[in-house]
Structure 1
Amino acid sequence: MATPPHPIHDGTTPGYARALWLGMGMNLGYGVIEVAAGLLSGSQALKADSLDFLGDGLVSLLALLAIRWTLRSRAKVALAQGIFLGLLGLGVLGQTIAEFSQPRLPEGGMILIFGLMALAINILSALLLIPYRKGDASAEAVWLFARNDAIGNVGVVVAAGLVIWTGAAWPDRVVALLVAGLFLQSAFAILRDARADLARAP
């Protein structure tokens, strides 16, 4: 028997607010921890991932505030979410390019430990949001942030292994560039969906 598709919800589905609260708490809490880990380890990939965590928490907060607003208002929130993600992507891109000239070798062991912890948190966060990923632009923005976190964490773990194996900093920088690219691609998708919601909103 075929599995039915996930229903499209309007942002007020029971359980959605609970998932947002849990996700926001986990992301903001671990984001602060990972900022410190990125600074201590010298890892650009961890720094980029920490911004993704903090961004995810803030996007969840915006979605919570807008949860009972009209479709037009939620679409405007999604526009803000998309612009925010795009700015994060540009910031990570610029900082990472600058880091290529820095000789410091990041601490591969620390990157691996914090990357694995982050991956576990993001898998849990994504699982909480899977039932609600089909909805308006704001709900899809929250899902894209969570998905980006999980993908970015896989990249961080791979970067850690390559840093340890090669004794070079370039894997860490390359993963940070890939995370920045993922930010920008998702920002484009969020802005596109938000404009579509605005066009069909009364």
Structure 2
Amino acid sequence: MGVSDERGAGRRLRRITALVVVLNFGYFWVEVAVALAIGSVALLADSVDFLEDTAVNLLILIAFGWPLRRRAVLGRILALIILAPAVAAIWTAVAKFADPTPPDPLSLVFTSGGAIVVNGVCALLLASLRNRGGSLSKAAFLAARNDVFANAAMILMGLVTAATRSGWPDIVLGLFIVALNATAAREVWRAAGEERLAAQALDRTSH
């Protein structure tokens, strides 16, 4: 691949990654707003996925312009930010144990359907980059693809909630999603640590 081809590929990666960042960060706020409005633990937990994907793709995006050491610092900050909605989801679940009021099933199903659309679009966009942007790009594609299945499970849970009028399906699924995403912040933190080690190795070789 020539220099011009590499530059073209780099610009395309930036455009796609920037679009994925906007889509994920935008729908993160949609899920948080709806989750708080209807009291859904599962939606609040699922918002962690969108924040995680925002963080990973943001790291990919800035990888073209920032030094390794600065990327590592930002990665650590993003890892801590990811923890906020996860903690909120656990807090909401615990608070609902005493009064497991069911969330509005219709809002839950429609919001989860929107999440499927967003994650599906992101997966399609990232499919062409999974072998070009390194391990983070591949991880971003796999995360978006897997999130589609998690959103489908949430739609099923919404239907179960409508049938049973119980809040327990939402609480159980929410805690399950939190458990699945327990490694999200750790993975971003680890990626930032790898950037830091790479920066240190580069410093040693340059002296």
1:90 corresponds in structure 2 to: 87
Mapping of 1:1-202 within 5 angstroms?
13-54=10-51, 56-57=53-54, 60-61=57-58, 63-133=60-130, 135=133, 139=137, 142=140, 146=144, 149-201=147-199, 202=202
- Which structure carries more helix by proportion? 2
Residues 36 and 192 of structure 1: CA distance in aligned 2, closer, same or farther (over 3 Å): closer
**Deviation digits for residues 99-145 of structure 1 (CA, Å, limit 9, x no counterpart):** 22234221112211221121111111122123434646765675576
Larger radius of gyration: 2
Q: TM-score, normalised by structure 1?
A: 0.75
- Larger mean CA deviation between 168-177 and 149-158 belongs to 149-158
Residues 58 and 185 of structure 1: CA distance in aligned 2, closer, same or farther (over 3 Å): closer
Residues 87 and 139 of structure 1: CA distance in aligned 2, closer, same or farther (over 3 Å): farther
SS state of the match for residue 132, structure 1? coil
Percent identity among equivalent residues?
31
Is the 8 Å Cα contact of residues 75 and 138 (structure 1) preserved in structure 2? no
Instruction: Read off the aligned partner of 1:174 and give its amino acid letter.
Output: V
In the alignment, the residues of structure 1 paired with residue 29 and residue 81 of structure 2 have an alpha-carbon distance, to the nearest angstrom, of 18
Is the 8 Å Cα contact of residues 62 and 71 (structure 2) preserved in structure 1? no
Structure 2: gaps of 5 or more residues? 1-5, 203-207
Is the 8 Å Cα contact of residues 48 and 82 (structure 2) preserved in structure 1? no
Instruction: Read off the aligned partner of 1:196 and give its amino acid letter.
Output: E
In the alignment, the residues of structure 1 paired with residue 63 and residue 35 of structure 2 have an alpha-carbon distance, to the nearest angstrom, of 32
Q: TM-score, normalised by structure 2?
A: 0.73
Is the 8 Å Cα contact of residues 148 and 183 (structure 1) preserved in structure 2? no
Q: Cα RMSD (Å) of the superposition?
A: 3.1
SS state of the match for residue 11, structure 2? coil
Residues 144 and 95 of structure 1: CA distance in aligned 2, closer, same or farther (over 3 Å): farther
Structure 1: gaps of 5 or more residues? 1-8
The count of corresponding residues between Structure 1 and Structure 2 is 192
Is the 8 Å Cα contact of residues 74 and 138 (structure 1) preserved in structure 2? no
**Deviation digits for residues 160-198 of structure 1 (CA, Å, limit 9, x no counterpart):** 122123321111111211222232212222222332332
In the alignment, the residues of structure 2 paired with residue 29 and residue 142 of structure 1 have an alpha-carbon distance, to the nearest angstrom, of 17
